[in-house]
């Protein structure tokens, strides 16, 4: 390509849209004056477009977008039923009444406010062994820990640790903190994948050097543990310990007085505290740990409501409004106020997308119960009708 | 293994949802960056291509698709949709040579994996400064002045770094060109 440096610059500037109107006209005259000029331009254009497309393609997470697409084309039945356990006949009356009078539509006005409450999105903060912290919001980064391990940080794909470090083996810890209104996932050095829900934190060794693989969780996480018979994988949440034998499960320790462990696949042993006896869970079982007494309560459950968040859904089965609103607080990063205590005990069953507008859910609950919702700035106010 | 367009069209002609899944996974990403070429807004581009796929499925537009024309049908449709969304916002729209984009895009689409891999490897080799400038302009879609502000350098530094980086990439893209010739003739 025989063009001057100046011309090269001009072509690049033209493609970038950085030429003045006059320069642009002159450039186009030059461009159209010969085939040779056109070829030179085309070569540089190809290069800039390839570069642009290749770089931007990393910003598209096809898996995630595909899930979104699936949800859009599958019009599932979102809301299954409404179970009024605490509420009595009076409540049933008030549900029926608006329908009988056919004025249910009037009610949604009270929810609708111009303020947009955004659903959660991906993001986290990573704390290195040096105490340095890195905010993960967008883009890709690669860093090296002091033991030589390589950490790949990709806002879309998650955090990933290299399987080996270069220097001598020492156990150093990193912490991934996911704030309210965020979720994130991480691939540990042994290949174990962990999904962290909003307002959760996981502390883990950069390389699993010792005889056990031990991690520390606050909040909620879903684990897909790489099997390794020689090195047990142990999840500590406060005093509870879950010992894993290669498996998929979810630990919810938002409420320290009642840590929930749900087993999806494989086998785990749970100890409510260091002195407790290990209780084995089978797939489809929920373990409720009492940290004070060291006792474990095990029951058979439908696992979906416990793990649906990982797949981008909100599922609740006969759950109290109080608990539902706590979950909304974390995911939509809002504050919830109950004007009337009795509303806390209303129970609902439902299934919705986690990424959708919170108003859809509030509207449904308002239509089918005695509760009324109002959005005010970044707060949701719950009151009795 | 690359899924053939013929296979996708065969599945779709019998309303098989699997065909739609494969279509999405094969084309979504490159159609988004294609839409972004005109819109310079990745979120808007993702929404646009989502809408496009939803429409295809709902309206059953796919029934009589010709597999040979599939890539160009998809990319022309997305281009038209992007055009109608444009509100004087993009720079590229004003260039006269917009049609040459189509040809380049088709090449990109049919050799995507190789191109992406090479370009990333090449960018990794650039000196730190050049890498930053390239990312500001081509990844984040910034104007020169915005890039200069972001990196705390002068406008002319941005310009020279950008051109220098592209020139370094040039030899390699030319090699990529040879590769294409080889690739096309070997078929």
Delimit the domains of chain A by residue range: 5-57, 69-117+311-384, 121-306
Structural domain span for residue B148? 111-187
Chain A residues within 8 A of B97 when measuring between CB atoms: 31, 41, 45
Picking from A50-54, A142-146, B136-140, B179-183, which range would have the lowest pLDDT averaged per residue?
Answer: B179-183
Chain A residues within 8 A of B101 when measuring between CB atoms: 45, 49
Q: Over pLDDT 70: what percentage of chain A?
A: 87
Assign B162 a pLDDT band (cuts: 50, 70, 90).
very high
pLDDT of B49-71, one tens digit each?
999 999 898 888 888 888 888 98
Mutate to test the interface with B, among A56, A137, A355 (most CBs of B within 10 A): A56
B80 and B123 part of one domain: no
Structure tokens at A178: 């996911």
Cβ–Cβ gap B28/A66 under 8 Å: yes
Residue B70 lies in a domain: yes
B94 and B132 part of one domain: no
Picking from A108-112, A146-150, A207-211, B138-142, which range would have the lowest pLDDT averaged per residue?
Answer: A108-112
- Structural domain total, chain B: 2
Distance, in Å, from the CA atom of A128 to the CA atom of A206, rounded to the nearest integer, reads 9
B16 and B73 part of one domain: yes
pLDDT of A33-92, one tens digit each?
998 888 888 888 888 999 999 999 988 998 889 988 888 887 543 333 333 333 333 333
Q: Which residues contact A87 (CB under 8 A, 6 or more apart)?
A: A345, A346, A369, A370
Pick the CATH number of A121-306 from 2.40.50.180, 2.60.120.1440, 3.50.50.60, 1.10.3720.10: 2.60.120.1440
Contact map slice: A 31-60 vs B, CB within 8 A: 31, 41-57, 59-60
Residue B103 lies in a domain: no
Q: Does A12 touch chain B (CB under 8 A)?
A: yes
Q: Are B12 and B66 in contact (CB under 8 A)?
A: no
ipTM score above 0.85 = yes
Picking from A106-110, A120-124, A175-179, B17-21, which range would have the lowest pLDDT averaged per residue?
Answer: A106-110
Q: Is A369 exposed, middle or buried (0-12, 13-18, 19+ CB in 10 A)?
A: buried
Among B53, B58, B116, select the one facing A57 at the smallest CB separation.
B116
Strand partners, B101: none
Which of these three, B38, B73, B98, is where a domain ends? B98
B7 and B36 part of one domain: yes
B20 and B79 part of one domain: yes
Among B25, B33, B97, select the one facing A56 at the smallest CB separation.
B33
Cβ–Cβ gap A49/B37 under 8 Å: yes
The fold for domain A69-117+311-384 equals: Phage tail protein beta-alpha-beta fold (3.55.50)
Q: Are B46 and B81 in contact (CB under 8 A)?
A: no
Structure tokens at A24: 């642009």
Query: For residue A349, is pLDDT > 70?
Result: yes
CATH number at residue B128: 1.10.10.10
Chain A residues within 8 A of B92 when measuring between CB atoms: 15, 17
């Amino acid at each position: 390509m025989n063009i001057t440096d100046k011309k090269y610059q001009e072509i690049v500037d033209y493609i970038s849209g950085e030429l003045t109107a006059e320069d642009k006209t002159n450039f186009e005259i030059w461009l159209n004056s010969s085939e040779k000029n056109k070829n030179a331009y085309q070569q540089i254009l190809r290069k800039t477009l390839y570069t642009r497309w290749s770089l931007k393609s990393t910003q598209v997470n096809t898996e995630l977008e595909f899930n979104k697409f699936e949800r859009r084309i599958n019009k599932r039945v979102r809301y299954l039923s409404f179970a009024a356990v605490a509420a009595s006949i009076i409540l049933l009356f008030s549900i029926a009444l608006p329908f009988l009078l056919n004025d249910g539509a009037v009610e949604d006005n009270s929810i609708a406010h111009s303020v947009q409450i955004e659903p959660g999105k991906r993001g986290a903060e990573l704390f290195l062994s040096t105490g340095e912290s890195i905010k993960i919001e967008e883009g890709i980064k690669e860093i090296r820990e002091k033991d030589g391990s390589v950490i790949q940080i990709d806002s879309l794909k998650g955090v990933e640790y290299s399987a080996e470090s270069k220097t001598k083996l020492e156990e150093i810890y990193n912490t991934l903190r996911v704030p309210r209104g965020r979720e994130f996932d991480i691939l540990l050095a042994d290949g174990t994948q962990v999904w962290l829900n909003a307002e959760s934190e996981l502390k883990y060794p950069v390389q699993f050097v010792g005889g056990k693989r031990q991690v520390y969780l606050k909040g909620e996480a879903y684990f897909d543990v790489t099997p390794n018979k020689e090195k047990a994988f142990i999840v500590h949440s406060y005093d509870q310990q879950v010992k894993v034998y290669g498996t998929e499960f979810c630990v919810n320790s938002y409420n320290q007085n009642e840590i929930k462990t749900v087993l999806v696949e494989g086998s785990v042993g749970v100890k409510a505290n260091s002195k407790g006896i290990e209780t084995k869970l089978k797939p489809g079982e929920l373990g409720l740990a009492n940290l004070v007494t060291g006792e474990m309560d095990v029951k058979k459950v439908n696992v979906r409501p416990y793990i649906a968040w990982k797949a981008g859904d909100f599922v609740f089965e006969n759950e109290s409004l109080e608990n539902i609103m706590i979950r909304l607080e974390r995911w939509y990063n809002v504050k919830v106020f109950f004007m009337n205590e009795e509303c806390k005990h209303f129970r609902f069953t439902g299934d919705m997308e986690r990424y959708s507008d919170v108003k859809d859910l509030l509207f449904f609950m308002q239509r089918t119960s005695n509760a009324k919702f109002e959005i005010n700035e970044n707060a949701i106010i719950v009151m009795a009708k | 293994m690359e899924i053939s367009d013929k296979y996708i069209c065969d599945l779709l002609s019998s309303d098989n949802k699997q065909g739609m899944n494969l279509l999405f996974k094969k084309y979504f990403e490159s159609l988004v960056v294609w839409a972004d070429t005109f819109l310079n807004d990745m979120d808007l581009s993702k929404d646009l291509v989502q809408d496009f796929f939803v429409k295809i499925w709902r309206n059953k537009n796919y029934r009589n698709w010709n597999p040979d024309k599939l890539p160009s049908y998809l990319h022309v449709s997305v281009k038209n949709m992007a055009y109608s969304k444009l509100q004087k916002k993009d720079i590229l729209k004003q260039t006269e040579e917009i049609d040459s984009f189509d040809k380049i895009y088709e090449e990109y689409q049919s050799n995507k994996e190789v191109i992406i891999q090479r370009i990333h490897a090449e960018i990794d080799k650039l000196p730190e400064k050049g890498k930053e400038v390239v990312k500001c302009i081509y990844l984040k879609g910034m104007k020169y002045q915005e890039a200069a502000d972001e990196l705390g350098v002068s406008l002319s530094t941005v310009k020279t770094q950008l051109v220098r980086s592209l020139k370094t990439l040039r030899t390699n893209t030319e090699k990529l060109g040879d590769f294409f010739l080889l690739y096309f003739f070997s078929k």
